Amino acid sequence: MTTAATALSGTYNADPVHSSFGFAVRYQGVSLFKGTLNEVAATLVDGRLEGTAKVESISIRTPEQFRAHVLSAEFFDAENHPEVKFVSNSLELGEDGTAKVAGELTIKGITKPVTAAGTWIAPAADAFGNTRGHLNLEAVIDRTEWDINWNMDLPAGGKVLANEVALTVELSLLEQAA
């Protein structure tokens, strides 16, 4: 494994236009509900990744009652906890393009350890004279560990929402001048 300090040394900021925080959860036992938190801010400084996503930027817009429910205390509690936050403890970047990051994920004021895996693309010059790299990371969490417990029984058995939520983070990283 290459260490992040050598593969992505220096300071990088996430390009907000090309970065996102996505989630997917099994719904009604058969469908997959996907959404994103679109306002993402992240930095990678000498191998330490830290980022936030604004809960209010959730891609759920309609119906308004559904959006209000997801932003309520039964889900994200956006009024009291407006951001989802991640801070890494370690970042490993393999020469084969694999990535693994371990750290602390905070949702609703609750912080738990999470490990994510994915891929990375080494920094290179882009068309606008910047140096840009990319991290794609995925993890599966149990939403109930962050006090997101709302659910309903299905008529045929089971629950409306699965507890397992797949998270996907896309970070287009722009190198910052020293």
Per-residue pLDDT of 146-170, as tens digits, reads 999 999 999 999 999 999 999 999 9
Q: Where are the domains of the chain?
A: 2-175
Query: What is the architecture of the domain spanning 2-175?
Result: Beta Barrel (2.40)
Could you tell me the maximum CA-CA distance found in the chain, to the nearest angstrom?
60
d(CA 176, CA 90): 21
**What is the Cβ-side half-sphere exposure of residue 66, based on CA atoms within 13 angstroms?**
8
What pLDDT, on the 0 to 100 scale, is given for residue 90?
Answer: 95
What pLDDT, on the 0 to 100 scale, is given for residue 115?
Answer: 98
- ∠ at Cα 126 (50, 39), nearest 5°? 35
Tens of pLDDT, residue by residue over 24-42, are 999 999 999 999 999 999 9
> Is it the case that residue 4 has pLDDT exceeding 90?
no
d(CA 133, CA 172): 6
Tens of pLDDT, residue by residue over 53-70, are 999 999 999 999 999 999
> Which one, of 56, 60, 17, 20, lies nearest residue 38 by Cα?
20
What pLDDT, on the 0 to 100 scale, is given for residue 7?
Answer: 66
Tokens (6 digits) for 57: 């930027």
